[in-house]
Amino acid sequence: MSAWTDDRIPIVVAPLPGEALESWIGAYARRLRITSSGFLSLAGLHGSRTRPMALRLLPSEAAALERSTGVPLPTLASMTLEPYDEFAVSFFPGQRRLSRPVAWRFSGSRNRYCPACLAEQDGRGPVFWRLPWAFACLQHQCLLLDFCPACHRFPNHWKARRLGPSGTSSCTLNSSRGRTGPKQPCGYRLDEASALRLPGDGLALATQRHISDLLGKDHAARPAALAEFKQLYALAWRILRGLHTVLGLAPEVVHTALAECGGRLPEVHAREVGHDAHNVAVGTALALIALHPGHAEHESLFDWILKADHSLVQKQKFTIGLMAARWEWSGPELVERVLGRLDREATLHARLRYASATPQPRWPALNAALCDNLR
């Protein structure tokens, strides 16, 4: 905290370590018994909205918050998604609107939550819950929740509203029942929602630990971490699709991961996978095993993923070029591994073209149109 000045709000509410900006603003507002927008007015930001600020602070907004609360600028920035730009999330250049992130359709304009964390922290929570790769609470060893169990929408529980609800962890979305009369918040106590317990020594929590390490990498190490995120997503996407096409051929570890995560199949849609915490947990836990050596089923799982991928193009004419091109987005390492595996099914012509029988299969330049069709 900086030195006290006349602009400072006389009551201090310090951010929790790793707290999301929206959570802190809501907590500050409740401490002052005003609304979130009332707090922003008090901080000299009359007319500003919390939602866009929670993504990325404008310099004027950050300065006003620092001046009125004493929280340093770097701390304020760390409570937004700004530090994760072009890494775990993607902003449109020069804007604070989010585009589709590198992996998973989870824009970061909403957040997942852990009921036990909400209960312990008086409804407050970390910015980590806004990242597409956040699927488990390491402290409480459970799967994060995506929706309010009562109204089945993404919750917005950090907002301090004039008309309540009074509980700090309550769903603040307007209930559909209020359409004809005064607006009523849903009010469900999210800290009382039930979350799936994950085994402490299981695959999902080990994976979330690994992912959290990657998310914490400094700027010098980020290109390698980003490359791994792309590889994990490319594998996870095929795993999640494969669960619905070639589950009967899956190695044992696939069933282990499914059982750990509640025993139900993650949902997929027409040509897409689901992007909730359950999908991310199952897909990423298995992707990590297939990506890094060490697990007894590391190789058999990768072979099954190729079968899953093959099953998605079965109506098309199979070629080694087509299959390899489907992996191009994930980078050369996986393409080379795929080419090495596909060698058994390749024609002589393809083997010569891609050198797939050599220790270092290579990837000839594809024409751009073909790449676009296969991404």
CA distance 155 to 245: 33
> Residue 171 interacts with Zn ion (CB under 5 A)?
yes
User: Which DSSP helix (H) or strand (E) runs through 68?
Assistant: helix 59-69
| CA contacts within 13 A on the Cβ side of 83 | 20
Q: From the CB of 281, what's the least distance to Zn ion, in Å?
A: 15
> Residue 148 interacts with Zn ion (CB under 5 A)?
yes
> Residue 8 interacts with Zn ion (CB under 5 A)?
no
Compute how many residues bind Zn ion; rule: CB under 5 A: 12
Closer to Zn ion at the Cβ: 144 or 339? 144
Site for Zn ion in 35-64 (CB under 5 A): none
Sole window of 28-36, 151-159, 241-249, 311-319 interacting with Zn ion (rule: CB under 5 A): 151-159
Closer to Zn ion at the Cβ: 13 or 205? 205
Among 117, 136, 335, 338, binds Zn ion (CB under 5 A): 117
Among 81, 98, 114, 282, binds Zn ion (CB under 5 A): 114
The pair of three-digit structure tokens given for residue 331, joined into one six-digit string: 């980078």
Among 116, 206, 247, 265, binds Zn ion (CB under 5 A): 116
Q: From the CB of 336, what's the least distance to Zn ion, in Å?
A: 40
Q: Is the Cα dihedral 149, 151, 154, 157 positive or negative?
A: negative
CA distance 245 to 312: 8
Q: Nearest-CA neighbor of 171 among 149, 194, 190?
A: 190
Residue with token string 């990768």: 302
Residue with token string 């559909």: 176
CA distance 215 to 336: 26
Do 284 and 212 touch, CB atoms closer than 8 A? no
Sole window of 51-59, 112-120, 192-200, 278-286 interacting with Zn ion (rule: CB under 5 A): 112-120
Amino acid letter, residue 59: P
Four-CA torsion 205, 211, 214, 216, nearest 10 degrees: -70
Looking at residue 316, the DSSP 8-state letter turns out to be S
Amino acid letter, residue 189: R
CA distance 318 to 310: 8
Q: From the CB of 124, what's the least distance to Zn ion, in Å?
A: 12
Site for Zn ion in 331-350 (CB under 5 A): none
Among 151, 243, 282, 288, binds Zn ion (CB under 5 A): 151
Question: Residue 170's beta-bridge partner residues?
Answer: 189
Closer to Zn ion at the Cβ: 134 or 151? 151
Q: From the CB of 33, what's the least distance to Zn ion, in Å?
A: 23
Site for Zn ion in 121-140 (CB under 5 A): 137, 139-140
Instruction: Give me the count of residues in the chain.
Output: 375
Sole window of 89-97, 169-177, 262-270, 366-374 interacting with Zn ion (rule: CB under 5 A): 169-177
Site for Zn ion in 178-237 (CB under 5 A): 186, 188
Sole window of 90-98, 117-125, 299-307, 335-343 interacting with Zn ion (rule: CB under 5 A): 117-125
Q: Is the Cα dihedral 168, 169, 173, 177 positive or negative?
A: negative
Q: From the CB of 75, what's the least distance to Zn ion, in Å?
A: 22
Do 210 and 138 touch, CB atoms closer than 8 A? no
What are the distances in angstroms from CA 31 to CA 4, 54, 168, 266, 329? 19, 19, 11, 40, 48
Q: From the CB of 80, what's the least distance to Zn ion, in Å?
A: 21
CA distance 362 to 117: 48
Q: From the CB of 319, what's the least distance to Zn ion, in Å?
A: 48
Q: From the CB of 350, what's the least distance to Zn ion, in Å?
A: 50
Closer to Zn ion at the Cβ: 139 or 166? 139
3-state secondary structure of 330: helix
> Residue 110 interacts with Zn ion (CB under 5 A)?
no
Q: From the CB of 103, what's the least distance to Zn ion, in Å?
A: 23
Closer to Zn ion at the Cβ: 152 or 315? 152
> Residue 16 interacts with Zn ion (CB under 5 A)?
no
Sole window of 52-60, 109-117, 249-257, 365-373 interacting with Zn ion (rule: CB under 5 A): 109-117
Residues that bind Zn ion (CB under 5 A): 114, 116-117, 137, 139-140, 148, 150-151, 171, 186, 188
